[in-house]
């Protein structure tokens, strides 16, 4: 459907308070890119039309759908008219169109995308709240596949603050997949009174806090060490109920400690059973001598705990700021890839004794590739890139793709982490670069700074 293009005064357009990008006016106006936009609009006017819809208002009869920065710049430059497309429709139709516009432009953060989808889901649920219906409608209106829609609808069951932390990498998304797929349904089936006692909203709030504070173990632990063994074969239901309630009622309680309680109980039941079936034996006092501590094993366990606690997110999301501060304090400038590797190796080696520097992978088509760092005991490969110039910035994706293909064939590689350091901002849109890397190299973690 063609949408006519007209010229209207920017003073007649109101901003959308539910704008999915959630950028404050202060954030926009202090961004150097916004300053550049104002200069362009001052000289040449608005090139890309705004998109608006009509609303019932005498002073501002149009509501902005797309183009907040352009509208703010036009107002700041006192432009008498701006080009706009006026779309017909409210509610669901307008929200779907806004979503499609932004996704086609590919300039949204993941958080903004989720907020937009949440608005669409809200409109769909006004028609029919059935989960299958909502999932199907969401797929039809956004063109996403069923699996992606299912994962997104899972995350959207949690509050906005939790969603933000998930998309910022502060909480693993996989925790919520496991909680919604296994734990909450199992609780609802086997302990309905307990489930009703907390209610879904409070239950999810408790569990999201536990996930954030790494009190659920790994996601595989949640499923394989807790839910499957104790819910699929409940031996002592009252005991399991008490342990779950204790875990949910106490903010500091770790799920791994709760499972140990269940394991001790299971062990006692088995021992009692064996005693009944065996003849009475004389009691003999036994003094247990503790085993010697294997320090390497202990260190390995500590390293595993660090990895499960999102330590790489913490390192690489804050690395650029740390390097800038390091340069300021010491005068040592990180001006090339070798210097960058030296700094990162120092950080990694202080945390992981198993860090190895420049380990060659096996040969592929008679050639091999050197990884920058490898944590062989954990199967983690870390590739470092220093962006030298604009031309190199354009080739980063291809370089990582070539390395990715080789690393995946290495028996020592279970996980790949790519860190791209761009101190001179040759990559114009880091978020978009990360998004594209995730699509083409989905089994790796990507950080672009």
pLDDT at 40 over 90: no
Report the residue count for the chain. 449
> How confident is the model over 137-173, as pLDDT tens digits?
888 888 777 877 888 888 889 988 888 888 777 888 8
Strands 380-386 and 370-375: antiparallel
d(CA 385, CA 420): 5
Q: Which two tokens stand for residue 367?
A: 């050639």
Higher pLDDT, 209 or 17: 209
251: nearest Cα among 217, 193, 212: 212
447 class by beta-carbon count within 10 Å (0-12 exposed, 13-18 middle, 19+ buried): buried
pLDDT at 1 over 70: no
129 class by beta-carbon count within 10 Å (0-12 exposed, 13-18 middle, 19+ buried): exposed
Domain ranges within the chain, ordered by starting residue: 1-88, 90-156, 179-273, 309-448
d(CA 399, CA 441): 12
> How confident is the model over 190-242, as pLDDT tens digits?
889 999 999 989 999 999 999 888 888 887 788 788 877 787 777 678 888 88
d(CA 37, CA 317): 28
Alpha helices (H) along 87-191: 91-105, 110-127, 131-142, 146-155, 160-167, 173-178, 184-190
pLDDT at 197: 93
Contact 382, 417 (CB under 8 A): yes
Residue 366: pLDDT band (50, 70, 90) is: very low
pLDDT at 71 over 90: yes
Contact 338, 370 (CB under 8 A): no
* Residue in this structure with the two tokens 């779907």, named with its chain if needed: 96
Contact 95, 116 (CB under 8 A): yes
Average confidence (pLDDT) over 399-426: 86
pLDDT at 364: 40
pLDDT at 376 over 70: yes
Task: Looking at mean pLDDT, say which of 180-194, 225-239, 353-367 comes out highest.
Answer: 180-194
Average confidence (pLDDT) over 254-260: 88
> How confident is the model over 112-127, as pLDDT tens digits?
778 788 888 888 888 8
Average confidence (pLDDT) over 419-436: 91
Ranges 41-50, 332-341, 350-359, 382-391: which has the least confidence: 350-359
pLDDT at 11 over 50: yes
Reported for 204-207, long-range contacts at CB under 8 A and 24+ positions apart, including other chains, are: 204/157, 204/158, 204/159, 204/162, 204/179, 205/159, 206/248, 207/179, 207/183
> How confident is the model over 74-87, as pLDDT tens digits?
999 999 999 998 88
Rounded-to-10 torsion of CA 137, 141, 146, 151: -90
Q: Over the Cα atoms of the chain, what is R_g? A: 28
Average confidence (pLDDT) over 43-71: 87
Strands 444-448 and 5-8: unpaired
pLDDT at 108 over 90: no
Higher pLDDT, 318 or 98: 318
Average confidence (pLDDT) over 337-342: 90
Residue 363: pLDDT band (50, 70, 90) is: very low
> For all residues of the chain together, what is the average pLDDT?
81
Average confidence (pLDDT) over 392-408: 86
Higher pLDDT, 262 or 422: 422
- Topology of 1-88 in CATH? 3.90.1530
Q: What percent of the chain has pLDDT over 70?
A: 84
DSSP for residue 361:
P
The CATH architecture that domain 309-448 belongs to is 3-Layer(aba) Sandwich (3.40)
Higher pLDDT, 198 or 299: 198
Contact 1, 88 (CB under 8 A): no
Residues pairing with 141 in the sheet? none
């Amino acid at each position: 459907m063609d949408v006519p293009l007209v010229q209207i005064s920017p003073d007649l357009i109101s901003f959308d308070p539910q704008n999915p990008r959630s950028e404050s006016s202060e954030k926009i106006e202090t961004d150097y890119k916004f300053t550049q936009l104002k200069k362009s609009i001052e000289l040449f006017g608005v090139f890309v039309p705004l998109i608006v819809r009509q609303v019932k208002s005498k002073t501002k009869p149009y509501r902005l759908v797309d183009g907040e920065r352009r509208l703010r710049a036009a107002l700041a430059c006192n432009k008498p008219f701006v080009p706009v497309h006026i779309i017909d429709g409210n509610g669901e139709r307008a929200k779907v169109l806004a979503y499609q516009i932004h996704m086609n432009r590919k300039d949204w953060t993941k958080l903004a995308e989720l907020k937009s989808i949440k608005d669409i889901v809200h409109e769909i649920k006004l028609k029919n709240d059935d989960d299958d219906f909502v999932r199907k409608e969401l797929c039809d209106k956004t063109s996403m596949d069923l699996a992606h829609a299912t994962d997104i609808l899972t995350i959207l069951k949690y509050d906005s603050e939790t969603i933000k932390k998930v998309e910022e990498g502060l909480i693993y998304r996989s925790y919520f997949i496991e909680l919604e797929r296994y734990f909450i349904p199992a609780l609802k089936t086997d302990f309905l009174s307990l489930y009703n006692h907390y209610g879904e909203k409070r239950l999810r709030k408790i569990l999201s806090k536990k996930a954030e504070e790494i009190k659920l173990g790994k996601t595989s632990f949640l499923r394989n060490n807790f839910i499957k063994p104790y819910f699929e074969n409940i031996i002592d239901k009252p005991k399991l109920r008490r342990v779950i309630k204790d875990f949910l009622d106490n903010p500091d309680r770790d799920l791994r400690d709760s499972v140990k309680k269940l394991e001790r109980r299971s062990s006692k039941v088995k021992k009692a059973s064996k005693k009944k079936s065996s003849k009475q034996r004389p009691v003999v006092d036994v003094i247990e001598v503790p085993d010697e501590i294997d320090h390497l094993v202990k260190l390995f366990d500590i390293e595993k705990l660090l990895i499960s606690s999102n330590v790489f997110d913490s390192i690489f999301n804050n690395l650029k700021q740390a390097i800038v501060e390091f340069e300021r304090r010491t005068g040592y400038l990180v001006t090339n890839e070798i210097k960058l590797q030296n700094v990162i190796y120092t950080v990694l080696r202080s945390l992981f004794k198993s860090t190895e520097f420049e380990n060659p992978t096996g040969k592929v088509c008679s050639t091999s590739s050197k990884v920058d760092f490898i944590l062989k005991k954990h199967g983690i490969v870390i590739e470092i890139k220093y962006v030298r110039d604009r031309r190199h910035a354009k080739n980063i994706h291809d370089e990582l793709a070539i390395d990715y293909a080789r690393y995946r064939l290495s028996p020592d590689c279970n996980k790949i982490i790519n860190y791209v350091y761009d101190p001179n901002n040759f990559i114009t849109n880091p978020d978009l670069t990360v998004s594209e890397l995730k699509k083409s190299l989905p089994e790796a973690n990507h950080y672009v700074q």
